Structure 1
Amino acid sequence: MKTNKLKTNRIYFYLFIILLFNAFHLISEIYTADLKEGLSETIILLPVSFIYTLFIFWSRVYLKNKLIPKIIDIENRSQFLSVWTTVILTKTVTLTFIWQTVAYTFENDKELERSFFDLVFWLVLLINFAVIAFVYFIEIFLESQQEKQDIKIKLTQYQNEKSVAQYLALKKQLNPHFLFNSFNSLSGLISIDTKKAEHFLQELSNIYRYNLTQSEEVVVPLKKELELINSYMSLQKIRFGESIIFQNDIEESKLHLLLPPMTLELLFENAIKHNSVDISKPLKITISIDNLSLKVVNNFQPKNNDYEKSLGIGQKNLVNQYKMLHSEIPVFNILNNNYIASIPLIQPEI
C-alpha cells in the first residue's frame, strides 16, 4: 500500500514537471510563431512527453525490482553504478535511434536530403540523455531519502520498545501491599498449619520466580500466565477462603497464544483490591476466550465510588504496551453488574 502511494506521488510529480515544460513551450511558441501553431504542437507534445516519461519511470522500476537484483549484488557500489550507467546510456541511444528512424522515414520534405546522423540526431540524443538521467537521479535521490527515513523510524521504534521494556521491568514488580499481606498470612499459618504454610510459601516463591524470569519478556504464552495466576489465587484463597471464587474456562488449545507478562496478575489484583470480598457477597473472577480476546470478568461490587480513577494507572500502562505490540488494545467496561476486561491475544509468528 505504501509503495503504491509513493509511485502515484512520483507520477504526479513528473506530470507537474511535464505540464510546466509544456507551458513554457507554449509561451515560447506564442512569442516566436503564433497561438494556433503553439496550441497544436502542445496538444501533441503533452501526451507524448508524459507517455515517454512514464516509460522511463516504469522501465526503471521493473529493472530495479525484477531484473538487476538477479544480475548483480546490489550492495556492491561499483557494480551498482556500472549497471545503471550502462542502462542510462543504452536507453538514450536506443530511444534516439527509434526517434530518428521514425522522423527520417516519415520526413515530409522528400526533396530535402539530410544525413541520418545530422545535427538533429545529436540534439535528440542530448535531450534523451538529459531526461533519462534526470528521472534516474531523481529516483535514486528520493529512494535514498526514503531509506534514511525508514531507518530513522525503525530506530525510533526500537528505542521506544527498549524504553518501554525497561520501564515495564520496574513497573511489574509486585505490589508491596501484596507482599505485606502475604507475609501476614504466612506468619498466621506457621503456628496453625505448617503444611498449609509450606504450600503458601511455595506458591509465593513461584510468583516471585515468575516475576524475576518473565517480567522483562515482551510477550509470554498464556499457559505461563495461567500458572502464575493459579499460584496467585492459591494465596488469595488462603487469605479470603470461600469469599473469593476463581473459574477458568480457557481451552487447552488456546494456551499457546501470547500476551504481555503479568497482565493477569494486574487484572486480578485490581479486581480484589477495588471490590468488596465478603462471604455474604463472594467475589467471582472468571476467565475465558472469545475470538482471540481474553475475557476477565468479575462481579462488580466496588468498595468506593472512585473505582474508575483508582484503576487508571495500571490499565493505561497495559494499553500503552499493546499500542507497541498489536493492532488492537485492551477494552474495559461494565455490563450487567460485571466488570469486563477484554485483552487481545497475539498469535505466535511460528
Structure 2
Amino acid sequence: MFRSKYRYVFIILLAAYSLINILWVIGDKLFEFPVPTGFLFLLLLVVILVVWELNRLVESRQYKLYEVTARKIHPLIILFLLSQLNAIIGALLGLAAVYLALVRGLTWSMEHFKLVIAFAFRVNLFLNCVNAIYFFLQKSKNAEVRAEQFKKDSIEARFEALRSQINPHFLFNCLNALSNLVYKDADTSARFIAQLSNVYRYLLYSQERKIVSLQEELEFIDSYLYLLKIRFGENIFISKHIATDAEKFHIAPATLQMLIENAIKHNVVSGKLPLKISITSYNGSITVSNNLQEKHVKDPSAYIGLKNIMKRYEFLSSKPVEIMKTENEFIVKVPLVQVDHT
C-alpha cells in the first residue's frame, strides 16, 4: 500500500481530513496559542508525509528483515514495530516545521510534542491497519490466481498424460504388438490385454484427482512397463528401487508415466543403444533417470510434459521439481506429497 503511485494524493486527503477534524473539535488552539489554519495543515501534512515515506522505505525491505528474524516474526509486525520509530521522527519534523514557519525558533515544548506524537501514533496505527487489510486482500487475490493457474495447469497435464497414451501412435503400437502375439502366445496376449486395460482404467479413474497414493501410481506403472517391454523387448531396461512407504506418500497422477514417456520420446531406443531407465525413491522424493542418447531430430513438443509437472508441483509441494542433465544422464527428481489425515 505504501508504494502506491497515488500515495501523495492519499497523504494530502488524509491531512485535509485530519485538519477538518481538529478544527471541528478544538479549533485553531491546538497549542496554548492560536495556530493559523495553513500552518496547522503544514504540521499535519509533514507528519503524515514523513510517516508514510519512512514506512514505504521499511516496507521495501521488510522481507529481508523477515529473513533476518529466521521467519519467526511476521513481516507486518516488523513493519508496525519500526513504524513506531517513524511516527516519532514524523512528529519531531512536523513540530520543527511549524516552529520555523511561525518564526518561533526550535523552542521545544514537551506538551506540544506530546500532542503531535499522539497524532502521529494514531495516524501510523490507521495506516498500518489499512496496509494489513490491503496485504491480506492481495494475498487472497494471489491465492485465487494461483488456484486458477493450477486448475489450468492440472487440466493441461492430465490431457498431456492421456494424449501420450491415447494418441494413435501408442494405440497403433499396442495393437500391432498384440496382433503379433495372438498367433504366437495366447497367454501373453491375454495378459497384454489385461495390462492395457489397467493402464486405461487408471488414466480415466485418476484424471479428475489432484494426487493419488504412490502405491496406486506404482501399480499403474507396472502395467505400463509391461506394455513397454512387449513393445521394445530387450531394447529397453527399466529398474525400480522403492525405499519409501508407498502408502504414506502421494504423487500427481501419471507423473512417472510422463517421465518415462519423455525419456522414450527424446532418446534412441535400439538393440545397439538400449535405453536404461531407473525409478528410485528416497527421503521423500522419487527420481526417474535415464542414460542420455538423444535423437538427432528433436520432438516438437519441447518438453511440454516436464513443464506441466513442474507447474503442478508448484502448487502441490513447497519443494521444487529438480531437473538435471549431465553428459551421460538425464535426471528428474519429484517431491512426494504427505497428506495429513488427522
For normalisation by structure 2, the TM-score amounts to 0.67
Q: How does 1:60-139 map to 2 (within 5 A)?
A: 137-138=126-127
Q: CA deviation at 1:217?
A: 1.6
Partner Cα separation in structure 1 for residue 209 and residue 231 of structure 2: 30
1:23 lines up with 2:12 in the alignment: no
What is the Cα deviation at residue 248 of structure 1? 0.9
Distance 2:221 2:321 in 1: 19
Instruction: Identify the residue that residue 328 of structure 2 maps to in structure 1.
Output: 337
1:222-269 deviation digits (Å, cap 9, x = unpaired)? 211111111011111112222222211112524532221111111111
Question: Which of the residues 290, 296, 299 maps onto 1:298?
Answer: 290
Cα shift at 1:299: 2.0
Distance change in 2, residues 1:133/1:342 (3 Å): closer
Indicate whether 1:320 and 2:314 are aligned: no
Question: 1:190-269 residue pairs with structure 2 within 5 A?
Answer: 190-251=182-243, 253-269=245-261
> Which of structures 1 and 2 has the larger relative contact order (alpha carbons within 8 angstroms, sep 6+)?
2
Give, in whole Å, the separation in 1 of the partners of 2:151 and 2:262. Answer: 27
Aligned mates of 1:188, 1:4 — CA distance in 2: 66
CA contact 1:297–1:341 (8 Å) conserved in 2: yes
**Aligned-residue offset at 1:338:** 2.4
Report which of the two has the higher share of helix. 1
Structure 1 gap ranges (5+): 54-129
Residue 152 of structure 2 is aligned to residue 169 of structure 1:
no
When the two structures are aligned, how many residues end up with a matched partner?
A: 268
Contact 2:238/2:277, CA 8 A, preserved across alignment:
yes
TM-score of the pair, normalised by structure 1: 0.66
CA RMSD in angstroms comes to: 3.1
Q: Is the counterpart of residue 148 in structure 1 residue 218 in structure 2?
A: no
**SS in structure 1 at match of 2:183:** helix
Aligned residues of 1:168 and 1:215 also touching (Cα < 8 A) = no
Q: Amino acid of the residue matched to residue 191 of structure 1?
A: Y
1:277 partner amino acid: V
SS in 2 for 1:35: coil
> 2:181 aligned with 1:181, yes or no?
no
Is the Cα–Cα contact under 8 Å of residues 289 and 330 in structure 2 kept in the other structure? yes
Distance between the aligned counterparts of 1:49 and 1:288, measured in 2? 69
Structure 1 pair 323/197, CA: closer, same or farther in 2 (3 Å)?
A: same
Tell me the residue number matched to 1:158: 147
- Is 1:37 matched up with 2:26? no
SS in 2 for 1:285: strand
Distance 1:10 1:241, change over 3 A: same
Deviations along 1:145-185, whole A, 9 cap, x unmatched? 34433332232222222222333332321421212211111
Q: Matched residues in 2 for 1:21 and 1:233: separation? A: 73
**Alpha-carbon distance between aligned partners in 2 of 1:199 and 1:299, rounded to the nearest angstrom:** 29
What's the CA shift for 1:17? 4.5
Aligned to 2:74: 4
Query: 2 CA distance for matches of 1:30 and 1:174?
Result: 76
Gaps of 5+ in 2: 1-65
Distance 1:19 1:49, change over 3 A: farther
* Identical-residue share of aligned pairs (%): 30
The 3-state SS of whatever aligns with 2:337 is: coil
In the aligned structure 1, how far is the partner of 2:310 from the partner of 2:210?
Answer: 14
Instruction: Identify if the C-alpha distance between structure 1 residues 147 and 188 changes in structure 2 by more than 3 Å, giving closer, same or farther.
Output: same
| Matched AA of 1:6 | L
Rounded to whole Å, the distance in 2 between the matches of 1:252 and 1:140 is 47
| Cα gap change, 1:248 to 1:28, in 2 (>3 Å) | closer
